[in-house]
Structures are given as structure tokens and as C-alpha cells.
Structure 1
Amino acid sequence: MAIKSLALGFLALVASAGNSDALPVLPSRIPGVAYMTNHPWGEPLNATQTATLIKAATSGKLANYGGPVINNVEVTLLTWGTGVNYVSSAAPNNLPTFYAGVTNSAYYDMLAQYGTSSQGSIGRGTYKGTIALSGVPSGSSITDAQIQTYLKSLVTKGTIKPNKNSYYPIHFAPGITIALSSSDSSCSTFCAYHGTIDISSLNVGTQYLFYGVMPDQGGACAGGCGSASSTFKNLCSVSSHELFEAVTDAAVGLAQTYGPPLAWYNNPNGEIGDLCNAQQATITDANGQAWTVQKQWSNSKAACASS
């Protein structure tokens, strides 16, 4: 079974029958995904649900299963389709400024606690630029399989050159739906997710490609993927959820048991962002710019935190 990580509570998990060691699929939940607010695993959680999550997380915290983390993330923003919002908008209300700011902030520094001698330390990251994708699969409904095939073609052509620190969040134009299965689709059950592709066969010097899928947060996503006052702020919150999960559990998309390549994970509650699903906060980056983000689980504080 493979786990895929989705933002705000919905984790995409594909189970293989008969594997007693496989990671379990909780009712209506897939590891690594962010759920819509009207989904059983989305926010807002009621008091009982919140208490259950926090109790489980506090007792077990995030366990380290030994898989890869991203040590100093290098974010390259990919845009899919025409009219992707918040890319060319005036700063600071754009995604390039967001990724540059969040990866250079005290908020991001909280990830240092998840560095180890074997996996390496986790330090601040950088924003590397934006690529407007061309020749993407046509249509208003795209599958994750299509996304993975297309990304591999970009590596083969040299359009993107991933290394062990590369993270590629794909931001989609309005009106494009991403399907993980016949019953799970963007802005219907989930808000976003992050995934992993094994590219070792391409001989490009790194084993994995780490990517995120960020649907436009207007339309059907509006109001279901965050409680902030603007679509952009909710998009930032969802994007921070996936960024932090990609850094601390980079290869979750290929995990089949409670062991490598799974990294930091809480059984059965999910990844660093899932334990604090849709709990928003305002942080300030190194340039003094404020951002709406999601709180993330801190083992050291045994709580959801933003620093």
C-alpha cells in the first residue's frame, strides 16, 4: 500500500490486499491529504475529535521511521493551466513571495527538531523560481497518474532538474479538478496533497521527486479549505501544510509499511500538518512580512505551534 499526503486532513492512501504490514486506511481518511471542512476528517473538528487527536499525538508524537527528509528545501513553483491565481500579483500577495518568506522564517525553524544525525539537519530553505508549464494534459479533470507521468517527462527533458532538496508545488488554474480515485477529487473531498515519484531509473543523481498538488482555492474550494478572510490567505495555509509535510515526510507517497521511506509520522493520525489540520496562525518572515499559515505539530512542545 502506498501513502500519499494531502493537505488539511485528506491523505491519499492506496492499499494492497493481503499485506498485513501495510499502513491502515482509517475510515474515509488517506495519509498525507488535506480534507475539506465538510469531510469527516476535515476541519472544523468538534471538541471530542480535537481531544482525541491531541491525546494520540501527545502520547505517541511524531515517530521517526527513518525515511528521507528535505534538509534545506529548494522550492520551484510550477503553474498548470492558464490564469493561475496569485503568481504574478503584486507583492506581497503572491505565491513567490510567500514561499520565499515562509522558508526564511522563525516558523520554519521549528522543523529543526526533526533533523537527525542519520537523516541530516533541517535548516531554512530558498525559493528558486517559477516555471509556467507547457504541453500539460488537456481537460478540466486531471488524475495524479497523469501528473506523475508529466513530471517524469519534465525530468527527462531537463526542464526541471531535481536534487534531494527540491520540492515542486504545482498550482493549478481555476476550473481544473484533480482526481486521486473515482471517489476522491479536489474541492470535493480534499484541498491539496503532496506526493513522491521514484525517478531512480532516470539516472539524474537523485532517487525521488517531491511534488505538491495545489488546486485553485476559489470555486468549490472556497470556504472549505480554511477560515481566513481571503482566498489567498487560505491558499497560503494549505500550501504551508503541504510544504511542512513534504519536508518532514518526503517519500510518504511510496511508503508501504511503518518503516522507510516513511519518515516523521504519527500512527494513526498522520503527518505534521494533519495533527493540526486547518488551525491557522499569522507568522512574520525575516523581512517583516506577515503570512497566514497552518500550525504544525511540535514534538518538543507537544502541541500545535507556529514557531
Structure 2
Amino acid sequence: MAGFRTLGIAAAAGLLASGLSAAVAPSGGVHAAPPMKTSAAPGVSPTKGHLHRGVMPVFGTGRGATKPAAAAAPVAPPRAHLSYYGGSVVSTIRVVQVLYGQPSTTVKYESEVQDVATSPSVGTFYGAIASSSYVDSMSEYNTTGSPQGTSGTNQTITRGGFDSQNIIAPSQPNNPFAPGNTTHTIDDTQIQAELKVQIAAHTLPAPARDGAGKLTTLYATYFPISVHITLHVSSGTEKSGVDFCAYHGTTSAPEAYYSVLPDFTTGGMATGCGGGTEFQNVMSVSSHEFAEVITDPEVGLATGAVGSPLAWYDVNNGENGDICNGINASVVGHDAVAYTVQKLWSNAQNACVTAPATPPPAPPAPFHPHGVGAPQVAVTPDGSTQLVFWSGSDGLLHEAWYTGNWNGPITFPQLGHLTSAPSVAVTRDGSTQLVFWQGPNRHLLEAWYAGSWNGPVDLTAAWGGAGLLASSPSVVPTADGEQLVFWRGIDGHLWEAWYTGRWNGPADFSTLGTLASSPSATITPDGSQQLVFWPGVDNRLTEVWFSGSWHGPVEFANLGLISSTPSVVVTPDGSTQLVFYRSPWGDLLESWYAGSWNGPLDLTSSSFGGKGTLTSSPSATVTPDGSSQLVFWQGPRQTLWESWYAGGAWHGPVDFSAG
């Protein structure tokens, strides 16, 4: 038995509000409910009434009644929900466009309907939506397993495509332009009969099937200008442009899925089937039927009480297109054209949609870095991200970053091998991450990230081999965009190079004393002073500073012995200098300057309960709002540790490598 589901001029069509099936019309085997004459806005289902399966009503009659000139935007009916009744879906839809009649001086089509090779056209429209997120949105209606507790057909809805345009020459009994047919009217029973004849004659390709033997072809059938379509239903005869805009149905013996898209240029089809341009209305209505064929293709074969072969159906509101009737959006095709589509009902999102819900982010992967060298930390100026870099046991640069959860670590083999810990900073405008390190042959190398990684650049080679490194470098970006890089040279002196649009130096500050290890540099927030700390040859904390000229060195004998490169940072308000370093026994020490020097404070023993022995220099920073101090270091067995100061107390330490 053949049947249909129409898209009518009022709004979404559905099954009987009572949940009972419709009567079978005596001619054509059309399965439909009696017409609904209750007024309702597009997309809003009346609480009671008789609606036609597969039919899209015209806005001006049926459920839509008279569409006011300034109608409110349509909305989905409340409590809409598609139930599964055990029928098939279309797994991978393949669209065959059928032109019902050879174009001639009397048989004419809308240009976008006929000229399938142009863009935009009906052909490019189907190609776009069939291979887009529009189809993905219907994947929630897969029939694998037992959807909603009903045994399914084991089908998965995936993207499909547009196969071809086929023009048929209807036989005289089914030709709306046959002699004597002065009104150019054709009934659904004739359309079904002609489609079966054309398939049998191979004018139309045979219906394709998926691996489970289920049909995948939709014969989207378009009619010439001035052709009228009728449907014989139990309550009488309904007409295109008067009662409906379009419909989809199912033939039997052989079974095939088809949709009927009448002429959109005349009468009620021009005024009652959408508020866009002619082609926008064609696309919206076509997408409505396209989607309903995917989720409820055998609606035309449903002849009894609600149940199989219906697939996804709401007995009060119809199919997935009906519920959202008149609610349009767009899908952009590969040709960059925005094609109008009607939104579709999603049970999962409880809304009319054109794409599946964005999945929740996957839970963060366990963060357990191993083989960690001396870490170096920086925070982006907006405070959103903590960046931690280190040289791994493989000699390569590694990075992890924190944005509410830890990400990474990732490795950058393209940047080559490091022979020191890296030095890390972010430019004051947040646009660029800077990483410097000692590379092979004691050269200073730089890489930077500004949307993608760049480098490495061998700066020492550019300087003719001057200023060979004997330590890790220390980089400081200034507020005006300069970059200052300090290091210990092979002569034990402090060296500097600086970037002001081009590189300057390197300069050997031979008068500033001898360094026992790498320096640590920073700059005050107002830019007035550059501060550089290092351990002296007697393992005492030593400082020099630049404020128009260099001062120092000053050795702080009262601040204890130091057995690592210090890490210096200034609070954002400029009030305090914080210096962290490793004690000879592996504890984390802090000294700070706030008008006078304080400390050292042994944080490991006083705040960490003896946990978190350091096996590297620490690396410290302060968040841009000044609320938190962050300190990272390498622990035993090349593990990554952190402690942080916030709310007036120290927290941690945390061993990220544990587990």
C-alpha cells in the first residue's frame, strides 16, 4: 500500500491527536488523517485535532489559518517529543532529483530547480545539506539496539549526498499536460504509479540499499510551473497551495521513498509556503521533507494503530520537521553558499536545531609528566593560562599548560635539542610566547609562539659566535615590547643581548662580578629598574640592578647559602621583590624585599611538612592580579612539583608526576 506524509500550509502536520491511525482512502491507497481546520501559528500544534502524516500544511489554511502580516516568529510546540515505533530510518541518504516532465515551451520550472549544475540550485542544495551537520543532528535517532526500549533496525544515520537529476516524460495517463487536462492537475496516486513505471524502465535509478538491505534513495520530485497536486484522503480531496505545501510518501511493490514538491511560483504555493524568496521557500520546504524521510521513511505504509513501520513520530505534533515548521536557519555548503533549511526537532536538545549538541569536553587526561628537567613557568597577562616548559630527559623541549585543567605535556622535536633549562616569558600584550635556551656549541637559541611555532633561530651564529653561553639564559619582556636576555658567559661574567626591533649586543658586563651559575632577571612593573640575581662564587645571593646605569654587585651574606639559580619576581604593584632558591640540603627558601630584606624562610620545613625536596632550581611567578605566587621545581626522579601561595597561606606541594 502506498502512503504519504504532507507538509501543509498551516504548520507541522501530524497524526491524529487521539493517537489513532487515519482511514485509508478508497483510491490511491493514501494513508492520512482528516484535515485540520483549527487555527495555529506555524510551528505551534493545536492541543486537539486531526493532522496528516507526511503533510506540510499551507500557512494560510489548515492548522495555520490566516497568517497575519506581522506574525510572531514560530516556535516549537510545548512538550514535543518523538517516540520510536520500531520502523526503519535512512542510514545514508542518496537524493535523486526528479523533474516531472521534459522542459519545453509549455513545461517550465523555476531556474534553480531545473539548472542543477549551477550554484545555487536544488542539486547543490541537496549536496550541501546531505553532507553537513544538518544530517549529523539526526544521529540521535539511530536505531541500533533498542531505542526507548523498542527493538530497533540496527541502522546508524550518517551523511549522504546528491546523486543525480533525472528528467522523466510521464505517460499520458499520469501527465498533467495531457490533452484535456486544462487545469494541469495530477493526483498522488498518479505520481506513485508513474514513479514505479519510470524506475522499472530504468529512466530513474533503482532504489539503493545499505548494508542491512534498507532503502537509502529519496526521489525528490519537482513539478513544472502551473501544475497542481491533489491528495485523496478520507475526508475528501486536498490541493497543493490550498491545503499543503509538500509531502513525502512511500510506494509499495516495489517500495520507494519519494517527496512531492509542487510549483512554488503561483497561488497559495507562492504566498503560503514561507516568507523568504522563492528559492528560499523551495529550500526550506525541501529540507523539511528530506529530514522527515530520514527519520520516518515508511510513514506511507503505516495503516493501522500507531506502531511499526512508523519510526520516529510524535502523535500530537508529527515528525521532526513538523514540530519546527516555519523555523528556518541556514547551512553553508562547500561552495560557500548559505542554503536555507528548516530546523529539526531534537529530543536530546529539547529544541529545534540544525546541528548536534556540542559534546561536553572530554575529562582531562591524567597529568603525570615524567623525565622532567628544571621547569620554567610563565603566566599570560590575562591570567588565564599557566605555561610550564622544561628540557626533558630526551633533551627536547616539553610544555604543559593549565587553563582550569592541566593540558599536555607535549614535545617539540622540531625545535632541536637543549643543553640547558629553557627560559620562558610572554610578551606584555599576550600575543607571543618566548622561549630561549642554550643549544649545541653553547649558542643562544630562540623559538616563539604566535599562533604557531617559529624558529629556532641561532642568535649566537648571527653575532659571529660572540657571547658563548655557560648557563641557561634568562629572558625579560618589557612593557614597550623589548626583550632582554641575560646569561653567564664562558668567562663567568654576566652577558646581555636586547631586542628593540633588532638585536643589540651581546654585551659583557665584566665589572659586575663573577657568576657561579645562571642569572635570574626581572623588571619592575613601571619599567624603571632591571633586577638580576645569581649565586656568587661563595654561594651567596648576589644582585645587580640597572636604573639608567648598572649598580652593584651586592652580596647578601645574611640570606643564607644558595645552591641553585635563584628565581626572582616582582609583585604587580611593585611593592615586593620575591626571590626563591634551593638550600644546600634541598629545601625551598624564600627571601623578599619590601623596603628591607626579610628571610630566608625555609618553606619546605615550615609550610610543606618536609615534603617536596628540590633537585633543581625553582621557577616562580606571580599572577597578574597579585593574588597568587606560583613556584615549580623538579623533585627526585625527575618529577614535577608545585606549591602556591594564595589567601595568606601556602598550599601543596603537589607532585604531578605521582600516579
SS at the partner of 2:175?
coil
Output one character per residue of 1:39-94: Cα deviation in whole Å (capped at 9) or x when no partner.
Answer: 232386987x977x62230xxx1001111111000100000132222221673221
Q: By how many angstroms is 1:31 displaced? A: 1.6
Q: Deviations over 1:226-267 (max 9, x none)?
A: 111x10011000000000001100000111221111000001
Q: Is the 8 A contact 1:62 1:265 kept in 2?
A: yes
Percent identity of equivalent pairs: 33
- Inter-CA distance 211–3: structure 2 relative to 1 (3 Å threshold): closer
Report the 3-state secondary structure (helix = DSSP H, G, I; strand = E; otherwise coil) of the residue aligned with 1:37: coil
Output the CA distance in 1 between the equivalents of 2:22 and 2:119: 38
Aligned: 1:195 with 2:249 = yes
Please give the per-residue CA displacement for 1:187-221, whole angstroms capped at 9, x wherever unaligned: 11110000001124xxxxxxx20000000111111
Uncovered stretches (5+) of structure 1, i.e. residues with no partner: 201-207
TM-score, reference length from structure 2? 0.42
More displaced stretch, 146-155 vs 71-80 = 146-155
1:301 paired to 2:349? yes
Amino acid at match of 1:110: S
Find the counterpart in structure 1 of residue 140 from structure 2. 113
Say which of 238, 259, 268 aligns to 1:184.
Answer: 238
Q: Distance in 2 between matches of 1:6 and 1:264?
A: 16
- C-alpha displacement at 1:165, in angstroms? 0.4
Query: Is the CA contact 1:36–1:225 (under 8 Å) kept in the aligned structure 2?
Result: yes
Residue 258 (structure 2) aligned to one of 199, 205, 211: 211
Q: How many residues align?
A: 290
Evaluate the alpha carbon distance shift between residue 245 and residue 284 of structure 1 in structure 2; reply closer, same or farther with a 3 A threshold: same
Aligned residue for 1:149, secondary structure, equals: helix
C-alpha deviation, 1:27, in angstroms: 3.2
Change (3 A) 1:219 1:24: closer
Which amino acid is the alignment partner of residue 27 of structure 1? Answer: M
Identify which range, 217-226 or 281-290, moves more after superposition: 281-290
Residue 35 (structure 1) aligns with? 57
State whether residues 102 and 285 of structure 1, in contact with CA within 8 Å, keep that contact through their aligned partners in structure 2: yes
- Tell me how far apart the structure 1 counterparts of residues 201 and 117 of structure 2 sit (CA, whole Å): 32
In structure 2, C-alpha distance between the alignment counterparts of 1:24 and 1:5, rounded to whole Å: 10
Paired with 1:88 and 1:295, the residues of 2 have a C-alpha distance of: 26
Cα separation, 1, equivalents of 2:124 and 2:199: 25
Q: Secondary structure at the match of 2:226?
A: coil
Contact 2:116 2:124 in 1 (8 A): no
Question: Please, which runs of 5 or more residues in structure 2 have no aligned partner?
Answer: 16-20, 26-30, 38-50, 102-106, 145-151, 177-183, 209-214, 356-659
Q: Distance in 2 between matches of 1:274 and 1:89?
A: 27
Q: SS where residue 142 of structure 1 aligns?
A: strand
1:229-248 matches, within 5 Å, as: 230-248=277-295
Aligned position for 1:288: 336
Aligned counterpart, 1:5: 5
Aligned equivalents of 2:2, 2:218: Cα separation in 1: 19
Alpha-carbon contact 2:2-2:249 (below 8 Å) kept: no
Residue 10 of structure 1 and its aligned partner are, at CA, apart by: 4.3
Map of 1:4-23 to 2, 5 A cutoff? Answer: 4-8=4-8, 9-10=12-13, 14-16=22-24
- For 1:262 and 1:23, locate their aligned partners in 2 and report how far apart those are by CA, in whole Å: 13
Aligned pairs for 1:252-267 within 5 A: 252-256=299-303, 257-267=305-315
Say if 1:108 and 1:286 are closer, same or farther in 2 by CA, change over 3 A.
Answer: farther
Cα distance in 1, alignment partners of residues 116 and 198 from structure 2: 26
- Residues 31 and 255 of structure 1: is their aligned pair in 2 closer, same or farther, counting only changes over 3 Å? same
- Distance of 2:334 and 2:64 partners within structure 1: 31
Query: Residues of 1 paired with 2:160 and 2:64: CA distance?
Result: 29
Contact in 2 for aligned 1:141/1:179 (Cα 8 Å): yes
Are residues 2 and 128 of structure 1, via their aligned partners in 2, closer, same or farther at CA, if it must alter by over 3 Å? closer
Answer whether contact 2:98 2:221 (CA < 8 A) is retained: yes
The separation in 1 between residues aligned to 2:125 and 2:331, in whole angstroms, is 11
Higher strand share: 2
CA distance in 1, matches of 2:116, 2:163: 18
The answer for the alignment partner of 1:166 in structure 2 is: 217
Q: Which has the higher contact order (CA 8 A, sep 6+)?
A: 1
Give the match's secondary structure for 2:315: coil
* Deviation of 1:25 (Å): 4.8
Change (3 A) 1:84 1:62: same
Q: CA deviation at 1:159?
A: 2.3
Separation (CA, whole Å) in 2 of partners of 1:248 and 1:7? 15
Inter-CA distance 297–134: structure 2 relative to 1 (3 Å threshold) = same
CA contact (8 A) 2:296 2:310 kept: yes
> Could you tell me how far apart the structure 2 residues matched to 1:7 and 1:144 are?
14
Measured on the aligned residues, the alpha-carbon RMSD in Å equals 2.6
Matched residue, 1:154: 198
Q: Which residue of 2 aligns with 1:138?
A: 175
Select the residue among 175, 200, 206 that pairs with 2:226: 175
Alpha-carbon distance, 1:288 to partner: 3.1
Contact 2:116 2:123 in 1 (8 A): no
Distance in 1 separating the partners of 2:194 and 2:285:
23
More off after superposition, 35-44 vs 239-248: 35-44
Matched, 1:80 2:100: yes
User: 2: distance between equivalents of 1:122 and 1:263?
Assistant: 13
C-alpha spacing 1:300/1:100, structure 2 compared with 1 (3 Å): same
- Measured after TM superposition, the shift of residue 116 of structure 1 is 2.0
1:23 and 1:186 map into 2 onto residues whose CA distance is 15
Distance verdict in 2 for CA 1:24–1:150, change over 3 Å = closer
